[in-house]
A and B are shown apart, each in its own frame.
Chain A
Amino acid sequence: MPLVNIIIDGVKTQVSSDSTILDAARKVNINIPTLCHLELHNKETVNRVASCRICVVEVEGRRNLAPACSTKVQNGMVIRTHSPRVIKSRRVLMQLLLSNHPKDCLNCYASGNCDLQTLSNDMHTDSNRFEGAHSDFMVETSSESIVRDLNKCIRCRRCETACNDMQTVGVLSGVGRGFDMVVGPAFHAPLEKTQCVFCGQCVKVCPTGALMGKSHVEEVWNAINDPEKVVVVQTAPAVRAALGEEFGMEPGKCVTGRMVTGLRRLGFNHVFDTNFAADLTIVEEATEFIHRLKHGGRLPMLTSCCPAWVKFFEHQFQDLLDVPSTCKSPHEMFGAITKTYWAEKMKIDPAKIVVVSIMPCLSKKYEASRKELSSSGHQDVDYVLSTRELGRMLREAGVDFQSLPDGEFDNPLGFSSGGADIFAVSGGVCEAALRMAAEVISGKELDSVDFEEVRGTKGLRHAHVEIAGMEVNVAIACGLGHARRLLEEVRAGKSHYHLIEIMACPGGCICGGGQPFVDSREEIEVMKKRAQAIYAEDAGKEIRSSHKNPYIQELYKEFLGEAYGEKAHKLLHTGYTSREKL
């Protein structure tokens, strides 16, 4: 692209001719405020609706103000980003947005993470200048995962872009028009009734508190404080790589030990690790994979540990319900084992056990409520808290997180291999499965368990792996838009893959919908840092393959019997239902 010369706020600079004014300003460290603008994953997903108009700037010779986010630079352009005309307009625009926004920041879950609040503070403008009609929507709480308070919506359409362009879930659309225009599902249906997969990417990109994760903090406090209950907590692999950020720590720092101590301080009776169940998942899933390979089963096999992904294909690929692995997700396996094996071992009435999962995810909340996930005779998992909710609980309890001493998980359900750690990153489940499958099929130990070829941050990746002279084709998708492409190949009978790993969120669970909020501009960097932290955990483990986890081996010996066997099937596997497209 050729370069053009422009002047922004008196600063002469040269930028590529395909830059927007916003790009150019950022290059010279001028921050033009934005609300609706969104660029994710190296511009793979862009919300450039230019609707909020907050980024307007003055361009010499132009009749009206120009939206910086969507106006391309031209040679010789003279731009003023904070002239009196610009500032006045921006203030009025902010006053207009605030005139239809509840001013109850103190009650708002998004307070402190709200772009509208931040910008309004920076402008310090009169939020009551324009009076008039307000949006008047019921707060929508139908689902276990996401709460929608459209009264706080500023119609930036970022959620719509995330839902449709990035995820291709297609639940959200602009609805109605004019002052009453809003973003929502067809027929204003409650999310629970729609094909929403609760990936929470919409929550991540919402600049206000219009979309929030549903909180279960209160229920968990009540369980902890109930002397009749034995409250067991498990933590997903991705949580430890991001929880520190809730306390101002740099991204990319694993805080496993502090997290364990913090959980004990909150009063959980037993602190276990979902990683243990991740190892268990691998043993089941790899065995199922080998079984399908050897017995001419349905290929490719798709992983099934992401509940958003599972719900996605149940709605949109109803003809492919036999393709995914039947393995439950790790935290569900954990719940089933806790309320059977562990309860027996500890001689605790499973009815008294409360299993709480700390997850990087909002969809896990919905998953825990799926009725069929109750093979233990009780709902396998009782409550799910997101990483953000755990941060909130710890702060509420006055835990000085940064200075906590490291703690150790309880056993037997707290020990894990490196193969479990990497569940947190896109490609990790596939890699962990390959670590086991390769050794089982070849009957030989791997020289190196690092399958570098399946790692990376790209949304769609594929690799060929040789196992005992057999070519195994694997594909990895993170982000449901990418997953859709792989599924359409499968549907068309054109897929040459044997194993496909799918995670609904770009980057995998480390960037899940329940993780600490990140400025979208830093998303990729943070994703990389969190992934590095996870791979470091894995590399630091003595045992790196799931099937070598001695506690897992003991679990099979003492309780489950054969992997992929009858008891395992009953407790650890599930089936899929076709669901309405809405």
Chain B
Amino acid sequence: MGGAGGAIETMELTRMQTEETSDQAKIRELDAFIQSLGLDGRDAAGRRAVLIQILHRAQGLFGWLPEEVQKHISAKLDLHVSEVYGVVSFYHFFKTKPSGRHVIDFCTGTACFVRGIGKVIEQVEAQTGTKLGETSGDGRFTLGSLRCVGACSLAPVLQVDGKTYGRVTPEQVEAILAEYK
């Protein structure tokens, strides 16, 4: 009995350790990127000018922008954390919550609106039991929206993990979701 529990605990511990090290590696990579920007001797305005660029990079590495990462960036740039957060919270591209394994983004451009993206969203929400902007309980899907992706001829459009699906009907939703476990 104790053995099984112990094994699970060990697995959990290993998982945490690997996560830890992978986070540290990401921080190191982020630091190397910041280093490459050559910020020495720059004034606050000069350091601020690369903030959004660094946030993009950090989100690319972590998938989102955890508080600790925002604090780290603020320390690196010697800007107040409130300022960094103010910027992060202003731009919709920056995510302050981790995403599920798969991210479904709906295009909310006008063409997609006119061509019925609303019904597709309803269908996906119903099938995943998740509201737009949230992550499903099992961590499988995060539902988000994108401003016009410019693929208006394919309207209505949704993207799963960056792959575009065009002329989507509510009936197709089940099959699309089934592609992503």
The listed residue (B75, B80, B89) touching A177 by CB distance below 8 A is: B89
CB distance from A195 to the nearest CB of B (A): 8
Q: Which residues of B contact A176 (CB under 8 A)?
A: 89-90
Q: Is A269 an interface residue (CB 8 A)?
A: no
A186 and B82: CB pair below 8 A? yes
Q: Is A19 an interface residue (CB 8 A)?
A: no
B85 and A186: CB pair below 8 A? yes
Interface-facing stretch out of A167-175, A538-546, A548-556: A167-175
Q: Is B160 an interface residue (CB 8 A)?
A: no
Q: Which residues of B contact A171 (CB under 8 A)?
A: 80, 82
- Asked if A174 meets B86 with Cβ closer than 8 Å, knowing A581-B74, A582-B81, the reply is yes
Q: Is A185 an interface residue (CB 8 A)?
A: yes
Taken together as a complex, chains A and B put the C-alpha atoms of A172 and B86 apart, in Å, by: 9
Q: Is A187 an interface residue (CB 8 A)?
A: yes
Taken together as a complex, chains A and B put the C-alpha atoms of A164 and B75 apart, in Å, by: 17
- Asked if A582 meets B90 with Cβ closer than 8 Å, knowing A170-B82, A170-B83, A173-B83, the reply is no
Taken together as a complex, chains A and B put the C-alpha atoms of A172 and B82 apart, in Å, by: 6
Interface residues on A, range: 10 to 19
B85 and A187: CB pair below 8 A? yes
Q: Which residues of A contact B157 (CB under 8 A)?
A: none
B74 and A175: CB pair below 8 A? no
- Asked if A186 meets B70 with Cβ closer than 8 Å, knowing A170-B82, A582-B81, the reply is yes
- Asked if A170 meets B89 with Cβ closer than 8 Å, knowing A187-B67, A581-B74, the reply is no
Taken together as a complex, chains A and B put the C-alpha atoms of A187 and B68 apart, in Å, by: 11
Name the residue on B nearest A316 (C-beta): B80
Q: Which residues of A contact B70 (CB under 8 A)?
A: 186-187
CB distance from B58 to the nearest CB of A (A): 15
Q: Is B84 an interface residue (CB 8 A)?
A: yes
Tally of B interface residues using CB under 8 Å: 14
B86 and A581: CB pair below 8 A? no
| Binary per-residue interface labels of chain B (50-85) against chain A in the complex, 1 for a CB within 8 Å, 0 otherwise | 000000000000000001001100110000111111
Taken together as a complex, chains A and B put the C-alpha atoms of A176 and B87 apart, in Å, by: 8
Q: Which residues of B contact A175 (CB under 8 A)?
A: 85-86, 89
CB distance from A395 to the nearest CB of B (A): 37
The listed residue (A173, A174, A185, A581) touching B75 by CB distance below 8 A is: A581
B82 and A185: CB pair below 8 A? yes
Q: Which residues of A contact B82 (CB under 8 A)?
A: 170-173, 185-186, 194, 582
B81 and A186: CB pair below 8 A? yes
Q: Which residues of A contact B71 (CB under 8 A)?
A: 581-582
A173 and B80: CB pair below 8 A? yes
CB distance from A315 to the nearest CB of B (A): 10
Taken together as a complex, chains A and B put the C-alpha atoms of A174 and B80 apart, in Å, by: 13
CB distance from A179 to the nearest CB of B (A): 14
B85 and A581: CB pair below 8 A? no
Q: Which residues of B contact A172 (CB under 8 A)?
A: 82
Name the residue on B nearest A170 (C-beta): B80
Name the residue on B nearest A169 (C-beta): B80
Name the residue on A nearest B92 (C-beta): A177
Q: Which residues of A contact B80 (CB under 8 A)?
A: 164, 170-171, 173, 186, 581
**From B67, B71, B74, B80, residue with most partner A Cβ within 10 Å:** B80
**From B70, B84, B85, residue with most partner A Cβ within 10 Å:** B85
CB distance from B77 to the nearest CB of A (A): 12
Kindly list the 8 A-B residue pairs having the minimum CB-CB distance in the complex, ordered from nearest: A173-B86, A170-B80, A186-B85, A173-B82, A186-B81, A186-B82, A176-B89, A175-B89
Listed in ascending order, the chain B residues whose CB lies under 8 Å from chain A are 67, 70-71, 74-75, 80-86, 89-90
Listed in ascending order, the chain A residues whose CB lies under 8 Å from chain B are 164, 170-177, 185-187, 194, 581-582
Given contacts A172-B82, A186-B82, A186-B84, 11 further A-B contacts (CB under 8 A): A170-B83, A171-B80, A173-B86, A176-B90, A185-B85, A186-B81, A186-B86, A187-B70, A581-B74, A581-B81, A582-B82
What are 19 A-B contacts defined by CB distance under 8 Å? Answer: A164-B80, A171-B80, A172-B82, A174-B90, A175-B86, A176-B90, A177-B90, A185-B82, A185-B85, A186-B67, A186-B80, A186-B81, A186-B84, A186-B86, A187-B67, A187-B81, A581-B80, A582-B71, A582-B81
